[in-house]
Amino acid sequence: MSENGKNSSQKGSKVRVSAGKIKIKENIDIFKCPVCGDGMYVDEFKSIICMKNHCFDISRRGYVNLLLKPPKHKYGKELFKSRSVICQMGFFDPLLESIVRLIYDNISDDIDHVRILDAGCGEGYHLSQVIKKLQENQDTHFQGVGIDISKDAIQIASKNFKGIVWCVADIAKIPFMDKKFDIVLNILSPSNYSEFSRIIRSQGVLIKIVPNSGYLKELRDIFYRGTDKEIYSNEEVIEHFSKNFEVLDTKNVQYSVSLNREQLSHLIKMTPLSWGAAEEIIEKALDSNIDNITADFTVIVGRGKLSN
Ligand SMILES: [Zn+2]
């Protein structure tokens, strides 16, 4: 492509190119202009541009914002900071181990480059851990790509985790070309099955993680006691999945995590259970001396029905 020549002639310029920018350039073939659907190219590591000149700046940290308008709901930075603390304490690590094993099980031996999208990646911990673990004992190269509608989340991701392509984008209009991904992860996050079907290769898989009724039940007992949300069921979500994707495998992952009061306060801030809850209930949860929390998930692996 022509921009290769342009960049090589720029040697000696003082512009420091971040790892994120290099990753975007290496993976530029996946990008699709969110305005017109054209392919895109990198312009001097400053922006990505389509053939019709729709231009999106690459941030200094090396992520690109491909949203055409700001999202209706804005999750605060605090939420992602709390989520980051909970992730860093290893709360999700057993779940991530299962995801890694399922990825191994679902990639064929003959491919040496596997591209994984985390759709709704939040502040990036899950994807970066999965890629790190996959890379440990394989010759295969695993390239992670993370999208989230929250700019705050992507900013944290691009600061903390290098080697991954990070984009602010909407899962309802994924700014990537058809059939570019071997694996799409969708972890505790909304889905858009028609977009997932479009971007997954015909032999690729979608791995979706949904909470089970036991997930955070110690908190659910406090926040939702006596309401219709006291018992959570994921039946509808799983049914919706199977209408759109052929289910290849499902796994239950259940464990318990011990945590201190400070970690508990971050967990409370992070979970939608507490959003909109009265201050007294949040205080009550904090004072409850909960020192163990149940993690309980279903992991579903599926193949697109349309792609066969
Ligand atoms: Zn365009």
Indicate the domain borders of the chain: 2-65, 77-304
Q: Ligand 1 centroid to 47 CA: how many Å?
A: 13
Q: Ligand 1 centroid to 165 CA: how many Å?
A: 20
CA dist., res. 13 & res. 187, Å (int): 41
Q: CA-based Rg of the chain, rounded to a whole angstrom?
A: 20
Quickly count: other Cβ atoms within 10 Å of residue 25's Cβ: 18
Q: What percent of the chain has pLDDT over 90?
A: 68
Matching residue, tokens 């975007």 = 24
The confidence score (pLDDT) of residue 240 equals 93
CA dist., res. 161 & res. 174, Å (int): 21
Paired tokens of 49? 């541009």
Hey, which residues does 123 pair with through a beta bridge?
A: none
Paired tokens of 223? 């926040």
Q: What is the tens place of the pLDDT at every residue in 280-297? A: 888 888 888 899 999 999
C-alpha 308 chain-centroid distance: 25
Q: Ligand 1 centroid to 207 CA: how many Å?
A: 30
Q: Ligand 1 centroid to 31 CA: how many Å?
A: 11
CA dist., res. 100 & res. 122, Å (int): 18
pLDDT over 70 (residue 33): yes
Strand, helix or coil for residue 176: strand
Q: Ligand 1 centroid to 40 CA: how many Å?
A: 8
Q: Ligand 1 centroid to 198 CA: how many Å?
A: 19
CA dist., res. 188 & res. 285, Å (int): 22
Q: Ligand 1 centroid to 117 CA: how many Å?
A: 22
Burial class (CB in 10 A: 0-12, 13-18, 19+), 307: middle
Q: Ligand 1 centroid to 39 CA: how many Å?
A: 8
Q: Ligand 1 centroid to 6 CA: how many Å?
A: 21
Q: Quote the DSSP letter at residue 227.
A: S
Paired tokens of 1? 């492509």
Q: Ligand 1 centroid to 85 CA: how many Å?
A: 38
Q: Ligand 1 centroid to 111 CA: how many Å?
A: 31
pLDDT band at 15 (very low <50, low <70, confident <90, very high): low
Q: What is the tens place of the pLDDT at every residue in 203-262? A: 999 999 999 999 999 998 888 887 777 777 888 899 999 999 999 999 999 999 999 999
The confidence score (pLDDT) of residue 64 equals 97
Strands (E), the chain: 40-43, 47-50, 55-57, 63-65, 113-119, 141-148, 165-168, 181-187, 200-211, 245-258, 292-304
The confidence score (pLDDT) of residue 227 equals 77
Q: What is the tens place of the pLDDT at every residue in 149-158? A: 999 999 999 9
Q: Ligand 1 centroid to 24 CA: how many Å?
A: 17
Q: Ligand 1 centroid to 119 CA: how many Å?
A: 22
The confidence score (pLDDT) of residue 307 equals 46
Q: Ligand 1 centroid to 260 CA: how many Å?
A: 50
C-alpha 138 chain-centroid distance: 22
Residue 253 dihedral angles phi and psi, to the nearest 5° = -125, 120
271 versus 155: which is more confidently predicted?
Answer: 155
Q: Ligand 1 centroid to 11 CA: how many Å?
A: 29
Name the CATH code of domain 77-304 (choices 3.40.50.150, 3.40.630.10, 1.20.1440.130, 3.40.920.10): 3.40.50.150
Helix and strand element counts for the chain (H, E): 11, 11
Quickly count: other Cβ atoms within 10 Å of residue 123's Cβ: 28
pTM as predicted: 0.91
The candidate with the shortest Cα–Cα distance to 184, out of 158, 204, 154, is 204
